[in-house]
Structure 1
């Protein structure tokens, strides 16, 4: 169950802020069911909850406004001066840097995202399936000759359907070329990671490449690929079924 669906009316400040961020994420996605909508209305009855939610909405509008202003100016027929373009670029750069420091804003601006304590499965237009773990976010682009998924935050498990086009997952500066079907990619503070449950993938970063087969794991740190390890992939990916995440999985011979 999503913890935001059943919350006390009195919460600690940190909990209240996280709940407000989670509700805002779900409201923007527009996927609240009847039961969740009632839970949200109960949660918002607390004045402090309502105030925190309003602050989140205001901050989002303030960060979104510069990008909209630049978009409107680009549609004007008159050419923009060099100074104008520099100012616009500076505004967007500052906004982007702010967002990099706020993980919840990264989730809000992504194509698909989950709140804290929520897992979500979606099926893409090509038939492939994504399962997002708690507090995770991805961008998806299936329009070109190469199908792309970019992991923005958290971790995602993928079941890829072959349709004749390459399927690539981007995580940080690394690219995971899908040669098999079932695997997971995760982003961490110090290291990103690829775990292959079934099939084969090729991971590349900064000119280096590694191939993984079923039951193997690869860490990626500061653009450098680590050593390929044999692991118990089923145990490592226990989060898919709601079990506690397993972080200490020994290397297999």
Structure 2
């Protein structure tokens, strides 16, 4: 019998996601010593560490569900080793590119992305421009009769050039139909939103539609499209120049 593969200790890396993945494989193996168990409990006390581990566990459950019955007999007959769990860890990372649950994997698999604190501007082949905020990602497809940009995460500001073809931005289950305009789309944990700086857009989702003109915002949640609001679009889009704009903040005595 081959000896088990000695994996590096989870705390030997500063990468939070890698630490979570390493701890996950060790916990699944079920042979943590008392000292390592204590180290894990200390690591999990950090809320960000606990959240990242929960994301890894959720991703694994989604990946494990479909083949679980087919592999049950094989699992009973084949004892697991560190080598086996190392393979599982690799499959988990690769499959994550398809399932797109972890934010860092989402950015890795997108056409254009930015890291935290980074802003990036690109010009598309049709002349339109995209400005991505930090920790943002988009997929772009200009090949068909309809130009499409899908916002995977974060937020993006767009300056769309008219070339005779419709331009659509997909965010969650909603679509933003553009007619030569400047606007921003953002994704959030609980809701998405569209802020229009210039021009006109139409947002649709599940048969419901809203039209926006310059200086308006629309929030999108699991309940559907919200009410169109009049806002200070320039202030809300101050992130484009690295500024933070606030208002209605009470003065300190």
TM-score by shorter chain over 0.5: yes
- Which digits, 9 at most, give the CA deviation of each residue in 1:103-125, with x for residues without a partner? 01000000000001000000000
Structure 1 unpaired stretches of 5+: 1-12, 21-58, 67-82, 84-90
- 2-structure distance, mates of 1:124, 1:209: 27
How far has the Cα of 1:16 moved from its partner?
Answer: 3.9
Instruction: Give the match for residue 146 of structure 1.
Output: 146
- 2-structure distance, mates of 1:220, 1:248: 24
Instruction: State TM-score, norm by structure 2.
Output: 0.60
Aligned pair 1:17/2:23, yes or no? Answer: no
- 2-structure distance, mates of 1:105, 1:125: 26
8 Å Cα contact 2:179/2:199 also seen in 1: yes
Q: CA RMSD in A?
A: 3.2
Q: Structure 1 residues 119 and 246, CA, compared in 2 at 3 Å: closer, same or farther?
A: farther
How far has the Cα of 1:96 moved from its partner?
Answer: 4.9
Instruction: Give the match for residue 195 of structure 1.
Output: 195
What SS does the corresponding residue of 1:210 show, helix, strand or coil? strand
Structure 2 unpaired stretches of 5+: 1-10, 19-55, 64-69, 71-90
- 2-structure distance, mates of 1:187, 1:138: 11
Q: Structure 1 residues 223 and 173, CA, compared in 2 at 3 Å: closer, same or farther?
A: farther
- 2-structure distance, mates of 1:245, 1:17: 32
Q: Which has the larger radius of gyration?
A: 2
Q: Structure 1 residues 102 and 247, CA, compared in 2 at 3 Å: closer, same or farther?
A: farther
How far has the Cα of 1:245 moved from its partner?
Answer: 6.2
Mean alpha-carbon deviation: is it higher for 168-177 or for 214-223?
A: 214-223
- 2-structure distance, mates of 1:206, 1:214: 24
- 1-structure distance, mates of 2:113, 2:97: 20
Instruction: Give the match for residue 218 of structure 1.
Output: 218
Instruction: Give the match for residue 127 of structure 1.
Output: 127
Instruction: Give the match for residue 209 of structure 1.
Output: 209
8 Å Cα contact 2:196/2:216 also seen in 1: yes
How far has the Cα of 1:158 moved from its partner?
Answer: 0.0
Instruction: State TM-score, norm by structure 1.
Output: 0.60
How far has the Cα of 1:99 moved from its partner?
Answer: 4.2
Q: Structure 1 residues 246 and 239, CA, compared in 2 at 3 Å: closer, same or farther?
A: farther
Q: Structure 1 residues 243 and 173, CA, compared in 2 at 3 Å: closer, same or farther?
A: same
- 1-structure distance, mates of 2:246, 2:204: 25
Q: Structure 1 residues 223 and 204, CA, compared in 2 at 3 Å: closer, same or farther?
A: farther
Q: Structure 1 residues 232 and 129, CA, compared in 2 at 3 Å: closer, same or farther?
A: same
Aligned positions, number: 169
How far has the Cα of 1:179 moved from its partner?
Answer: 2.0
- 2-structure distance, mates of 1:126, 1:218: 27
Instruction: Give the match for residue 103 of structure 1.
Output: 103
